Amino acid sequence: MNITTALITGASTGIGKELATIHASKGGNLIIVARNESKLNKLKQELEQKYNVKVVIIIKDLSDLNAPQEIYNEVKQLGINIDYLINNAGFGALGKFHEIELARQISMINLNITSLTALTHLFLPEFVQRNNGKILNTSSTASFMPGPLQAVYFATKAYVTFFSNALSEELHNTNITVTNLMPGATESEFGAISGMDKTVQRNA
């Protein structure tokens, strides 16, 4: 039996946690990445006990531009080959662009765009060399529309969608897939943290 290993960022809550659970339920091993050590440890214990898989945790803040390389180095030191790269970590903010603190918005770009791009660039050459691997990038239906009061968040998701689509085309003659996960509004901690759970639809 071929046991696959998935690396999932933003795995401590929400969509990332559910993706980790799905992968473990199919007998796959995991490297789960997030900032919250206690939540990752709890998830590791739950998945290992329930599904008899191996789960490694890496504590990183992916808004730190050094984090992708540090994650890659740690994976290499562990001697683990990644079969599925799931770039799920992300956050949003609610408010008028000029009123939201610039540092928060730059941090959002670093997390939602730069770290996703860097991790993909680090792991993809190995996928190409093996001619095997899957990349799943968590984008959003937000990537197809303007996002007043969430301008930078919507823009970052547009990047993810079109970046993934382009990579998929570049790799069309290989056994590597690049897929966008395109959720709409989702009940998770993301909404509460970003303030997007307070948004309402305005009729034109």
Each residue's pLDDT tens digit, 50-77: 999 999 999 999 999 999 999 999 999 9
pLDDT of residue 184: 82
| Distant-in-sequence, close-in-space partners of 122: CB < 8 Å, separation ≥ 6 | 68, 69, 72
Active-site residue numbers? 153
Each residue's pLDDT tens digit, 143-200: 999 899 999 999 999 999 999 999 999 999 999 999 999 998 755 454 544 455 554 4
| Distant-in-sequence, close-in-space partners of 29: CB < 8 Å, separation ≥ 6 | 3, 4, 5, 6, 53, 54, 55, 56
Mean pLDDT, the chain, whole residue set: 92
> Domains of the chain, with CATH numbers?
5-198 (3.40.50.720)
